[in-house]
Structure 1
Amino acid sequence: MSWLWAIIVGLVLGLVARAVLPGKQHIPLWLTVLCGILGGMLGNGAAGWLGVAHTRGIDWTRHVLQLIGAILVVFVVDLLWNRIRGRRATGARQRM
Structure 2
Amino acid sequence: MDIDGIISAIVIGIVIGVLGRLVVPGRQRIGILLTIVVGIVAALIGTAIAAGVGVANTDGVDWAEWLIQIALAALGIAALDRTRARR
Return the structure number with greater helix share: 1
TM-score (norm 2): 0.86
Identity %: 35
Structure 2: 5+ residue stretches without partners: none
Q: Which structure would you say has the larger RCO, counting Cα contacts within 8 Å and 6 or more residues apart? A: 2
Give the CA RMSD over aligned residues. 1.2
Tell me how far apart the structure 2 counterparts of residues 69 and 41 of structure 1 sit (CA, whole Å).
Answer: 10
In 1: Cα distance, 2:19 partner to 2:59 partner: 25
Aligned to 1:71: 74
5+ residue gaps, structure 1, are 87-96
Counterpart in 1 of 2:24?
21
Contact 1:38 1:73 in 2 (8 A): no
After the TM superposition, which segments of 4 or more aligned residues of structure 1 sit over 4 Å from their partners? none
